[in-house]
Amino acid sequence: MSKRDYYEILEVTKTASEQEIKKSFRRLAMKYHPDRNPEDKSAEEHFKEVKEAYDILSDKQKRSAYDQFGHAGVNPGAGGGFSGGFNFGDIFDDIFGDVFSGGRRRQNYAQAGADLRYDISITLEEAIRGKTTKITIPKLAECEECKGSGAKKGSQPSVCPSCEGAGQIHLQQGFFTVQQTCPTCRGVGKVIKDPCSYCHGQGRKQVQKTLSLKIPSGIDTGDRIRLAGEGEAGLHGGPAGDLYVQINVKKHDVFKREGSNLHCDVPITFAMATLGGEFDVPTLEGRVKLKIPPETQTGMLFRLRGKGVKSVRDRAPGDLICRVVIETPVNLNKKQKELLQQFHDSLQEDKTKHSPRSSSWLDVVKKFFEDMTS
C-alpha cells in the first residue's frame, strides 16, 4: 500500500469532484500503462499507485475515511492490494470500457442534436405585459426525403462489412486486444451505398424554420425560454436538441427596472421643491399625482406601492420608486436674475436657518483646514 498522499498521486486537490478525479485517473493510467512503457518498472509502480489512489478516492465512504484519518482510515486491502495477481485488463475494462476490452459490445451511436441559442430584444412594455411573436431559426433539420437515414428514398443503409455492424474493429497489441472505431463506417455500424441526393447522405438539411414564441409577462433581461426539441436534429435516430431564446430588454426612456421595482427620475422646479406641490408621474397604468412636500431636497425618494412589475417568479407587483431631481433654472432674463439675487441676499441674513446643510458643511470644511495647519 502506497504511503504517498492519494490526492498528490492523482494530481488533484482535496476539493476535486468525482468527475475531476476520474478524468485525472484516466490521463495518468494512460501515461503510465505498462503496455506503453515496456520494461519500465517505475512506470508500472506509478500505474499501481494511481490505481490504488483511484480505488480509495472514487469511493465516497473510503474517501471520507481517508480525509479524516489518512492511510490509517482505509483498509490496506481496499487500496488495490497488489499482493495477488494484478490484472491490467480488468482495470481498463472497468474504466475505459470499449477502448481497452476484449468484449465485442456494440455501442449506441445515436447522437443528440446540438442545442441552439437565439437572442431577442424586446421593449420594457412587451416584457411587462408579455407577447407572442414569430422567430425564424436557421438549423439542421431531419431530411424530409430520406427521413434522416441518409440513404436514397426506397433504400436503406446496409451493415458495414468491415465491422459487421459493431462500429468497432479489434486489433491485437501484445497481450491486449485494442478496440478502435471502424474506419469504414466511422463507428456507425452501417454504410450508405446509394446516398440521398437531397441531403448528400447526411440525413440532415439546413433549413429556415419559423416558430411561434410566447413571451410570458414579467420576463427580464437574462431570462431564457426553452423550446424543447427545436434545436438541431439528431444523428442516427438521436433526439433533437433544444432551442434556448435569450431575452434582452431594451433601455427605456423613462423607467429603469430592478427586479420587480421600477425606478424613474422626477425633475421638479426650485420653487416646487421649496413650496411643495403636486406633480404628474407616469406609471404602467397611467398618470398618478405625486405630492411633493415643502422643503424637498434633491435625491429624495418617493415610493408608489404596487406600481411596479409582476415578475415571472414573484407574481406580487413591485413598486415604482421616484427620485426627485431639482432642476436649476436656465436662460434667465435680466429681471429674473435681479429677483433671484435679491432672494439670495435675503437668505444670507440668517444663512444657518435657511441653509442648515450648507452651513454645517462649511463648518466641517473650516475645521478640516484648521487641523491641517495646526
CATH number of the domain bearing residue 67: 1.10.287.110
Instruction: Judge whether residue 335 has pLDDT over 90.
Output: yes
- Among residues 198, 223, 249, the one where a domain terminates is 249
The DSSP result for 149-190, as a single string, is S-BPTT---EE-TTTTTSSEEEEEETTEEEEEE-TTTTTSSE
Would residue 312 count as lying in a domain?
Answer: yes
Instruction: Judge whether residue 39 has pLDDT over 90.
Output: no
Would residue 108 count as lying in a domain?
Answer: no
Q: Can you give the CATH number for the domain in which 243 is found?
A: 2.10.230.10
d(CA 274, CA 295): 4
Number of residues in the chain: 374
- Among residues 249, 271, 289, the one where a domain terminates is 249
Would residue 58 count as lying in a domain?
Answer: yes
What pLDDT was estimated at residue 110?
66
Would residue 183 count as lying in a domain?
Answer: yes
User: Across the chain, what does the average pLDDT equal?
Assistant: 83
| Structure confidence by residue, pLDDT tens digits, 54-90 | 989 998 888 888 887 777 777 544 334 333 344 444 4
Would residue 310 count as lying in a domain?
Answer: yes
Examine the domain organization and report whether 69 and 27 are in the same domain. Answer: yes
CB 167 within 8 Å of CB 106: yes
Would residue 101 count as lying in a domain?
Answer: no
Q: Rounded mean pLDDT of 361-374?
A: 76
Would residue 354 count as lying in a domain?
Answer: yes
Examine the domain organization and report whether 121 and 242 are in the same domain. Answer: yes
Examine the domain organization and report whether 236 and 125 are in the same domain. Answer: yes
Lowest mean pLDDT among 86-90, 139-143, 289-293, 352-356: 86-90
d(CA 47, CA 92): 12
Examine the domain organization and report whether 23 and 121 are in the same domain. Answer: no
Would residue 104 count as lying in a domain?
Answer: no
Q: Rounded mean pLDDT of 294-319?
A: 90
Examine the domain organization and report whether 135 and 204 are in the same domain. Answer: yes
Q: Which domain holds residue 265?
A: 256-327
Examine the domain organization and report whether 241 and 128 are in the same domain. Answer: yes
d(CA 305, CA 361): 34
Examine the domain organization and report whether 235 and 282 are in the same domain. Answer: no
At residue 100 the predicted structure's pLDDT band, cuts being 50, 70 and 90, is very low
Written as one letter, the residue type at 230 is E
Report the percentage of the chain scoring pLDDT > 90. Answer: 37
| Structure confidence by residue, pLDDT tens digits, 183-230 | 888 777 888 888 898 888 888 899 999 999 999 999 999 999 999 999
Number of domains within the chain: 4
| Structure confidence by residue, pLDDT tens digits, 109-160 | 567 889 999 999 999 999 999 999 999 999 999 888 888 888 888 888 888 8
What pLDDT was estimated at residue 35?
74
- Among residues 249, 279, 295, the one where a domain terminates is 249
Examine the domain organization and report whether 265 and 316 are in the same domain. Answer: yes
Instruction: Judge whether residue 347 has pLDDT over 60.
Output: yes
Examine the domain organization and report whether 40 and 143 are in the same domain. Answer: no
d(CA 287, CA 279): 10
